[in-house]
Amino acid sequence: MCFVILTTVPWCFWEQSLWNSYFLASILRYTISLSITWLVNSAAHMYRNRPYDKHISPWQNLLVTLGTIGEGFHNYHHTFPFDYSASEFGLNFNPTTWFIDLICWLGLATDCKRATKPMIEARKARTGDGSS
């Protein structure tokens, strides 16, 4: 789907060459998407702070959060892997959580688990680096 549709739409409807349609609409998009995805497991394991558990390698990283549409809360995600939102910040910038909340509201997903505020605060006090 990511190659056929993204190649044929510009070629058929916008009169782009097949070459441009394939390499710009499909391959470039795919390359950028993979690069941002891989960024999570590189930059988010090297830079910024670890407010939930300073003893593990994942870090919180604002740039990764912006680039991956909300997935840069990596220290939180590894500390509370059961939390579907991957962040303690409810309506802050986390479009992935917004999408899952919409799916739940529509009844397409159920039993989404979250870490409680007391659980988060206790973990921050016990193992966090004091940065948040």
Provide the percentage of residues in the chain whose pLDDT is more than 70: 95
Q: Which domain holds residue 93?
A: 48-127
Residue 71 and residue 55 share a domain = yes
**Quick one: which of 14, 43, 9, 15 has its CA closest to 29?**
9
Exposure of 6 in the CB half-sphere (CA atoms within 13 A): 13
Residue 21 and residue 69 share a domain = no
In a domain, 11, yes or no: yes
pLDDT value, residue 82? 93
> What counts of helices (H) and strands (E) characterise the chain?
7, 0
Confidence of residue 83 (pLDDT cuts 50, 70, 90): very high
In a domain, 93, yes or no: yes
Residue 53 and residue 115 share a domain = yes
User: What CA–CA distance (Å, rounded) separates 60 from 52?
Assistant: 9
Residue 104 and residue 81 share a domain = yes
In a domain, 132, yes or no: no
Q: What average pLDDT score do residues 61-74 get?
A: 76
Q: Is the dihedral of CA 67, 69, 73, 74 positive or negative?
A: negative
Task: Judge contact between 85 and 100, C-beta under 8 A.
Answer: yes
> How many domains in the chain?
2
In a domain, 115, yes or no: yes
SS3 state at 49:
strand
